[in-house]
């Protein structure tokens, strides 16, 4: 079931929550609405569901205008962040609730309801907990029950509002993997809201990044991360290292630091954006860059060692972060207070008064002195 969002605008008094939003969600895709608090993503999700009405625009399901349809008529399943389970009902009764309250002419026979509930509980791997109450469940189990309840009505579309936001990191990761598997098996159309970049990039077929009631970019996770179309998307999607400076000929300078640009740049005031994996550290400067840094902290995090660094002889609004492998760490043994040099391998150039990045790459030959590499 495809979803077409056409020119949706929503105001709450003098506050404009959504500003002429348009978005196409193909049949069977899992689409993430990603953005900071207040960006309008939950409001948009509730308008799709029919829980809120838009001031302007239309919502179409598979080409049919459902803008004026009541939420009950949209065949939409909705999963809330805080489960919204009935505490006085068992797990099985919670899952069956939507079916039990249907008008008698639409309600399936009791035997069919029981069969569907059992099938759904087995699907979410909680069939053995049918007679328990919500207070006897963990957070992850409650969220799976909420999902089973949403699926009991055989929805054409599944909508999820921060579905894993109240759970700890390991449970979130397990449930994300489980939801992705479930989605691929049943191929329903899903839209979920999150402010967690990792969650959006891991789960989604497409991600719509929202800011201040507008969509900044819609793309696959791979393209969104590799080719952000605006400064906001770049800043929002993970840690980024920024070098700001003034261009003189083909060199960008700030204080004692400088970077030679491989492409001629038209503007004078420029910023280089570099993600952690796009920067290498050396014990001496490279031929194309002089970016001295001091190590402020060393954190062994999972598969990499993360270094937090501060500029020496130049300034940055935020500390820099660069990850190195454990093998590099064991060879180099970096300590707090040591000095090293950043070597840009890929950078994204943004004019100070512009919003669209331009990607720069340096040839391997420019990054000389292999003996200095860490």
- At residue 18 the predicted structure's pLDDT band, cuts being 50, 70 and 90, is very high
Whether residue 333 has pLDDT greater than 70: yes
- Extract the tokens encoding 168: 């700890």
Number of Cβ within 10 Å of residue 24's Cβ equals 14
3-state secondary structure the chain: CCEEEEEEEEEECCEEEEEEEEEEECCCCEEEEECCCCCCHHHHHHHHHCCCCCCEEEEEECCEECCCCCHHHCCEEEECCCCCCCCCCCHHHHHHHHHHCCCCCCCCCHHHHHHHHHHHHHHCCCHHHCCCCHHHCCHHHHHHHHHHHHHCCCCCEEEEECCCCCCCHHHHHHHHHHHHHHHHHHCCEEEEEECCHHHHHHHCCEEEEEECCEEEEEECHHHHHHCCCCHHHHHHCCCEEEEEEEEECCEEEECCEEEECCCCCCCCEEEEEEEHHHEEEECCCECCEECEEEEEEEEEECCEEEEEEEECCCCCCCCEEEEECHHHHHHHCCCCCCEEEEEECEEEEEECCCCCCEEEECCHHHCCCHHHEC
In this prediction, residue 265 carries a pLDDT of 58
Q: Is the pLDDT of residue 354 over 70?
A: no
Give the span between the Cα atoms of 328 and 229, in whole angstroms.
33
pLDDT digits (tens, 9 = 90+) for 102-156: 888 888 899 999 998 998 888 878 889 999 999 998 888 888 888 888 888 878 8
Q: For 272-309, what is each residue's pLDDT tens digit?
A: 889 888 899 999 999 899 999 999 999 987 788 999 99
The two tokens of residue 358 are 């331009």
Is the CB of residue 57 less than 8 Å from the CB of residue 16?
no
Enumerate residues 6+ apart whose C-beta is below 8 A from 158: 76, 77, 79, 150, 151, 188, 189, 190, 191
- Segments making up each domain of the chain, as ranges: 3-227, 239-372
CA angle 8, 14, 19 (to 5 degrees): 25
Mean pLDDT of 231-243: 86
Tell me what percent of the residues of the chain surpass a pLDDT of 90. Answer: 46
pLDDT for 206-231, tens place per residue? 999 999 999 999 999 998 888 888 88
Nearby residues of 171 by Cβ (< 8 Å), 6 or more positions away: 138, 139, 140, 164
Higher pLDDT, residue 268 or 198: 198
pLDDT at 61 over 90: yes
Q: Which of 173-177, 282-286, 290-294, 363-367 has the lowest mean pLDDT?
A: 363-367
**How many other CB atoms are there within 10 angstroms of residue 289's CB atom?**
25
Q: What is the CATH number of domain 3-227?
A: 3.40.50.300
**What are the Cα distances from residue 242, in Å, to 57, 232, 311, 314?**
39, 13, 11, 12
Kindly report, residue by residue over 81-91, the tens digit of the pLDDT. 777 788 899 99
| pLDDT of 313 above 80 | yes
For the chain, what is the mean pLDDT?
87
Q: How confident is the model at residue 11 (pLDDT cuts 50, 70, 90)?
A: very high
Q: How far apart are CA 284 and CA 347, in angstroms?
A: 20
CATH classification (class only), 239-372: mainly beta
Cβ-Cβ contacts under 8 Å for 354 (sequence gap 6 or more): 267
- Give the mean model confidence (pLDDT) for residues 21-40: 93
pLDDT over 70 (residue 16): yes
pLDDT band for 373, please (50, 70, 90 cuts): low
In terms of Cβ atoms closer than 10 Å to its own Cβ (0-12, 13-18, 19+), residue 317 is exposed
- 273 and 241 Cβ atoms separated by less than 8 Å: yes
In contact, 189 and 3? CB cutoff 8 Å: yes
Question: Would you place residue 365 in the very low, low, confident or very high pLDDT band (cuts 50, 70, 90)?
Answer: very low
Q: Cα 246 vs. chain centroid, distance in angstroms? A: 33
């Amino acid at each position: 079931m495809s979803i077409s969002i056409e020119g949706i605008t929503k105001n709450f008094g003098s506050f404009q929550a959504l500003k002429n939003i348009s978005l196409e969600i193909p049949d069977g895709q899992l689409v993430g609405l990603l953005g900071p608090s207040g960006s309008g993503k939950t409001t948009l999700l509730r308008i799709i569901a029919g829980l809120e009405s838009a001031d302007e625009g239309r919502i179409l399901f598979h080409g049919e205008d459902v803008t004026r349809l009541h939420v009950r008529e949209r065949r939409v399943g909705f999963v809330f962040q805080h489960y919204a389970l009935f505490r006085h009902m068992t797990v099985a009764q919670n899952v069956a609730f939507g079916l039990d309250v249907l008008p008698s002419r639409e309600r399936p026979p009791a035997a069919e309801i029981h069969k569907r509930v059992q099938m759904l509980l087995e699907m979410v791997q909680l069939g053995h907990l049918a007679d328990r109450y919500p207070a006897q469940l963990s957070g992850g189990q409650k969220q799976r029950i909420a999902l089973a309840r949403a699926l009991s009505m055989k929805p054409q579309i599944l909508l999820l509002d921060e579905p894993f936001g109240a759970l700890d990191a390991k449970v979130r990761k397990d449930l994300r993997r489980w939801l992705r598997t479930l989605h691929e098996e049943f191929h329903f159309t899903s839209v979920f809201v999150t402010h967690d970049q990792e969650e959006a990039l891991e789960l989604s077929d497409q991600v719509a990044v929202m800011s201040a009631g507008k969509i900044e970019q819609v793309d696959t996770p791979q393209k969104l991360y590799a080719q952000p179309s605006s400064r906001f998307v770049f800043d929002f999607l993970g840690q980024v290292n920024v070098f700001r400076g003034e261009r003189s000929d083909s060199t960008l300078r700030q204080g004692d630091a400088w970077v030679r640009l491989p492409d001629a740049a038209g503007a004078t005031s420029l910023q280089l954006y570099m993600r952690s994996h796009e920067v290498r550290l050396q014990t001496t400067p490279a031929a194309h860059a002089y970016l001295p840094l001091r190590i402020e902290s060393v954190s062994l995090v999972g598969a990499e060692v993360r270094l937090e660094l501060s500029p020496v002889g130049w300034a940055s609004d935020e500390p820099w972060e660069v990850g190195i492998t454990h093998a590099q760490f064991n060879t180099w043994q970096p300590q707090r207070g040591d000095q090293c040099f950043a070597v840009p391998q890929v950078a994204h150039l943004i004019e100070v008064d512009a919003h669209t990045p331009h990607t720069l790459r340096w040839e391997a030959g420019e990054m000389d002195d292999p003996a200095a590499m860490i």
